[in-house]
Structure 1
Amino acid sequence: MGATDDAIREELIGAVLGELSLLRRDVKQLSQQLEASGKQFRDDGELTLLRFTAGYEQFLEKFSETTADVLAKATSFDEARDQLLGEISLRHYDEANGRSRELLRDVLREERQRAAGIGRTELAVWSVCTAIGAALLSGAIAALHLFGTSGA
């Protein structure tokens, strides 16, 4: 269970890191373009300034798109993480619930076995005690009857 959760988490993190790597590459390429545009600016004056502005706007558009993509992927990553955590919590709850039910069954099973063993022993003791009590009571009644009638 833990290995699949880790694999899913690593796959999601890998996807986000891949997008970040692409963003870094794009930023590096745009930085190189900006440097090239800067050199042309020194050489070409206002024409280079217009190109630089266009390149900068293009950079901002790409950066905005890439940032929006990264944020969207981060949002989907958060949703996937929340769903994964929910599923993990549910699995842990189910396992704990199953363990507690199994423990309760074990306790009830042991109690039934213990109660059954005590019941037979108790029955034998009660039978013997009842027989002795009945014999003593019969003897006492006979003695009272014998001594009670001979004295009168």
Structure 2
Amino acid sequence: MSATPTLDRAGIAARIPHQGHMCLLDAVTAWSADHVVCVAVGHNDPAHPLRAAGRLGAANGIEYAAQAMAVHGALVAGLNAAPRQGYLTSVRSVTLHAERLDGLNGPLSVRAERVSGDVNNVLYGFTVHHDERCLLEGRAAVVLDAEAL
């Protein structure tokens, strides 16, 4: 684990492109060069930006994971590094173990783990949990410097 202190919502928002209500993560609780663990608490908010038809489906957990990957990339790059514009190139092997993210009392735990990659392309494994229950899991490929393409 890094000796760097954990981040709150403002610290996360300063490092990722998602702002306002679209910043879905509330804290980074642990991170290292290979992984990040984040907490999210807004999944029951009736004004959640990803809510559709009065519900927040479990597949929206992919966006939570993508934001965890973005903040991980920023943390690994260092506090003084310029933000890099990245994007998901693919999401694979996603398994939903729940139908919805809303209706769950208490925080969600979002974990992204770097599986492989280089300075510009990274493969992450990710999970979203509520307590001990895995809600979804999968893998995502990320291009970190989209502006260079």
TM-score category of the 2 structures, normalised to the smaller one: under 0.3
Bigger strand share: 2
The TM-score, its normalising length taken from structure 2, stands at: 0.23
More helix by share: 1
Structure possessing the higher relative contact order (Cα contacts under 8 Å, 6 or more residues apart): 2
TM-score (norm 1): 0.22
Q: Which has the larger radius of gyration?
A: 1
